[in-house]
Amino acid sequence: MGATNYALRINTPVAIGSKTTTSTAAVTALSLGGAVRIWVKGTEDTRIRFGDSSVAAPTSGDALLTADVDYVFDVLPVHTHARIRRDGSTDTTVRFMRVG
C-alpha cells in the first residue's frame, strides 16, 4: 500500500500588514485584527512585543525574531497589537499574516 499525504488548511492566511524599522526606535503598534494565531517573518533580526494598543517598545528581553525564519505565535485575546524594533544596525521589514 502506497503512502498518502494529506494537507488540511483550516484558515487561509490573511495579510495583516508589514512594518519597516529604520532605526532602533520602535515602530508604531500594528493592529493584529483579532487574530488568534499569526505568522511573522522579518528580513533582519528583530525584537517583538505583544500587548494592547499602547504596547510598549520591545527591549532586549523580548522575543527575538531571527532574520528569514518563519514564526507562528498563538495570540491571547488581550494582545490586540504588536510592536517591533530592529535588533541590529540594518533596516528590517516584518510581515504579519493571520493564520488562525
Tens digit of each residue's pLDDT (9 = 90 or more) over 76-86: 889 999 999 98
Q: What is the pTM of this model?
A: 0.79
pLDDT value of position 19? 86
CA–CA gap between residue 13 and residue 23 (Å, rounded): 29
pLDDT value of position 6? 59
**Dihedral pair phi/psi, residue 88, rounded to 5°:** -120, -150
Name the DSSP class of 60. Answer: T
Q: Is 100 exposed, middle or buried (0-12, 13-18, 19+ CB in 10 A)?
A: middle
pLDDT value of position 10? 56
Domains and CATH numbers, the chain: 14-98 (2.60.120)
CA–CA gap between residue 4 and residue 23 (Å, rounded): 48
CA–CA gap between residue 90 and residue 100 (Å, rounded): 31
3 has a pLDDT exceeding 70: no
Q: Region 13-21: what's the mean pLDDT?
A: 82
